[in-house]
Amino acid sequence: MVNVEVFLERDGQWLLIRRGEQEAHAPGQLAGVGGKVESDGTVEEVLEQTARREVREEVGIDLSGVPVTYVTSSFFVTDDGDPVINVVFRAPLPADQEPVAVSPGEVASVVWRTLAEAEADPGCPPWILQSLRLANG
């Protein structure tokens, strides 16, 4: 499986989601916005398009025309034994849009954190902090 995760930044703060309690992976914990690559055929820039789609579906933000910048990638195996390639992007959050939890089953809430606040938050897993630190530069 290929997963894409996006960290959105505005004014020195990062938009994170609190994952829904029904989620199989890291329920109730903080994460970037993201999800699985899905395609019905050939797609140009499939990772970037997945990033934009997931941001729209989960927090209602349209990233059309917004630069989505690669940060890092990693590999892990889920608790169920599924191999995952995770690709992390960052993007500026457009000033004229406000995020909301569009899909409450997946996204319990949206939260804003500086990097220091995320580091102090017990609900922010170490793998998210690692990606957020890299996104923060």
The predicted pLDDT at position 41 comes to: 72
The predicted pLDDT at position 104 comes to: 77
| Rounded mean pLDDT, 21-46 | 78
Q: Model pTM?
A: 0.90
Q: Which two tokens stand for residue 104?
A: 């409450």
Name the CATH superfamily for 2-136.
Answer: Nucleoside Triphosphate Pyrophosphohydrolase (3.90.79.10)
Residue 70 in contact with residue 87, Cβ under 8 Å? yes
Q: pLDDT-derived band of residue 5, with 50, 70 and 90 as boundaries?
A: very high
Contacts of 118 (CB under 8 A, 6+ apart): 14, 16, 30, 124, 128, 129, 132
Which residue did the predictor score with more confidence, 41 or 38? 38
pLDDT digits (tens, 9 = 90+) for 51-84: 999 999 999 999 999 999 999 999 998 878 889 9
pLDDT digits (tens, 9 = 90+) for 101-121: 998 778 889 999 999 999 999
Q: Which two tokens stand for residue 55?
A: 């941001």
